[in-house]
Amino acid sequence: MAQATIGNSEFDRDTVVTRRVPGPGSDAEPGADHTGALAAYDVDLSARWSILKALNGGYLLAVLGRALGDALAHPDPFTITAHYLTASQPGPAVIRTESIRTGRTLSTGQASLVQTDESGAEVERIRVLATYGDLGALPNDVRTAATPHAMPSYENCLGADDAPDGQPSLANSSEIVGRFDMRLDPATAGWAIGQPSGLGDMRAWFGLADGRDHDPLSLLLAVDALPPTAFDLGLSGWVPTVELTAHIRRRPAPGRLRVFVATRNLACGFLEEDTQVWDSADQLVAQGRQLARVKLG
């Protein structure tokens, strides 16, 4: 297929948010960025970003992040936190945003994703709190001691097609496999053949299948894209995210990302996943941390 571009790709099409024009007397006025302003967006959550039957948490975060980028006075998520309340379903949803504070360089807002259940009741799926800024307006002053983890070249890493049949793997029936151009470091892919390292690590090259380059919104996808580190700990079952926070630190350079995830503390039924996202120019472009429940299978 032809290489997609930022703004014209399946990721862009599947994260479209449409601002509702408010009626008379509403608090929401299009284009208003004042503190306290409310807005609402219609979205159509696509089953194409699902893992088994669950919509990917990073995809959902990107949809919410896109709405906030429209609602707030600044375009880019600097720090965004999502609490996953109930399981989002493919199909129509509404995002309600509140502009909490608009400053000169930073804006803070919250967003809520809601859906209507079978009985017609409104159910909140996700609540988000975020501070936005303009990555393009920041000084290019870097004094970092962070270094990317060593990993094999893309060609020497393992894609979904490399997974053996009958194993828990990326190459199962999950729709999302077709969205990603992801290859795992073989050192963190042993779980697919029943040989997890036990270390709690997951590392991968990460692109979008249609070749779209990354931007701050797709970094929100990247921080929750890899298989759970629990697999590398030798656990099976479900590891639902309770809360995920991402810091977007720079605009990513074109090309694939490297995503490194580590879990060091599995305790009392919960674990953290710490994520670093590096771009093709060896820049640390995003950091993520999530708290997840361990529901052993």
Contacts with its own copies, residue ranges (CB under 8 A): 35, 78-79, 81, 83, 85-86, 100-101, 106, 108, 110, 124, 127-131, 135, 138-146, 199-200, 233, 242-243, 245, 247, 249-250, 264-270, 272, 284, 287, 289, 291
Closest listed residue to residue 214, CA positions, set 253, 161, 176: 253
Least Å distance between CB 162 and its own copies? 27
> Nearest-5° angle of CA 124, CA 126, CA 132?
130
Least Å distance between CB 249 and its own copies? 6
Least Å distance between CB 55 and its own copies? 18
Q: Which is nearer to its own copies, 25 or 139 (CB)?
A: 139
What's 5's DSSP letter? B
Give Cβ neighbours of residue 47 (< 8 Å, ≥ 6 apart). 55, 90, 175
- Residues 288 and 223: their CA atoms lie apart, in Å, by 6
Q: Which is nearer to its own copies, 128 or 157 (CB)?
A: 128
Q: Which is nearer to its own copies, 210 or 279 (CB)?
A: 279
Give Cβ neighbours of residue 100 (< 8 Å, ≥ 6 apart). 35, 36, 108, 109, 110
- Residues 108 and 74: their CA atoms lie apart, in Å, by 9
What's 8's DSSP letter? B
Q: Which is nearer to its own copies, 35 or 172 (CB)?
A: 35
Q: Which is nearer to its own copies, 5 or 86 (CB)?
A: 86
Give Cβ neighbours of residue 267 (< 8 Å, ≥ 6 apart). none
- Residues 95 and 42: their CA atoms lie apart, in Å, by 6
Least Å distance between CB 60 and its own copies? 15
Least Å distance between CB 56 and its own copies? 20
Give Cβ neighbours of residue 72 (< 8 Å, ≥ 6 apart). 33, 97, 99, 102, 107, 108, 109, 132
Least Å distance between CB 284 and its own copies? 5
Q: Which is nearer to its own copies, 162 or 243 (CB)?
A: 243
